[in-house]
Amino acid sequence: MIPAIERSEHEVTAIASRDADRAETVASELGIPNAYGSYDEMLADAPIDAVYNPLPNALHAEWTIRAADAGHDVLCEKPIGVDAEQAREMYDYCDRHDVTLMEAFMYRFHPRTERAAEVVAENLENVRAGSATFTFSLRGNPDDIRLDPDLAGGSLMDLGCYAVSAMRLFLGEPERVYAKSVDTRDAGVDSQLTGILEFESGATARIQSGFDTPFAESYRVEAENGWLEAENVFGADPDQPVEIEYEVGGRHVTEAFDPVDPYQREVEHFADAVESGSTPRIDGTESAHNMAVIDALYESAKRGEPVSLS
């Protein structure tokens, strides 16, 4: 994120850590002029206009609200909060304090994602099914924040939120979900989750997230007249060319995209929204709807039965 900000027309002027030495080390390595040993100190004293909040999931709301209290706009990492209710409260609070809040789903700002959504909306007729997968092997530190229930860890929160976002982007809002989760680490969070989303049209979508299997990022949409699919869809490197493939009416197409930094595009979109007073692409409604699906998937996995969304 820091290199992406520096590549834009904006700059990183301060960084904070719970440990002053760590903050100073990173600031020195990356040429950041101000370093602070507490978040409160930075919010009160740093020469900043906006804050990027990459803290563990359960801390997003607290420090987004504190940033808003200090008058700073906030780009907050996904997932925006611990549930849909908290997401709505965060956006409402920032709105009342006249600061911009945006959830940082950077993949939404990659030209490939934008083009894929366009192809699905304009060329695929009567979409019947979709699927999205995001997994990687999480090995090593058993105290990883992704495995901590007190910090709102879990594979659905860390990875599956992308898959949910993608299927909603392509298929719309589901009316019912069903999920099965597994806690293979005995950590109190899902290390693997598979969910089925059901839509009013009769279409279905499968989402999969996990820490137990090798790296995989993909989505696919299937319609009566064709399909679209892509790999490495949620975290393409800034120097990585990517593709989408689709078939419409028997015509097969591969579209290539030059390397682009989706983090930089995300930062620029956020800054433009702040400066113009416009609503960001990832707004309160979008964030709350994504979290509502995640809430329903967790509830379904807990109850062992489908859960409807209202």
Match 């100190």 to its residue by tokens. Answer: 41
Q: Which two tokens stand for residue 270?
A: 């956020």
Selecting among 27, 53, 63, 78, the annotated active-site residue is: 78
Q: Which residues contact 251 (CB under 8 A, 6 or more apart)?
A: none
Q: Are strands 127-135 and 216-223 parallel, antiparallel or unpaired?
A: antiparallel
**Is-catalytic flag, 302?**
no
Q: Which two tokens stand for residue 152?
A: 């709102």
Strands across the sheet with 251-257, in order? 251-257, 242-248, 226-231, 216-223, 127-135, 204-210, 192-198, 176-182, 307-308
Distances (CA, A) of 284 to 84, 157, 241, 252: 10, 18, 31, 37
**Which residues have a catalytic role annotated?**
78
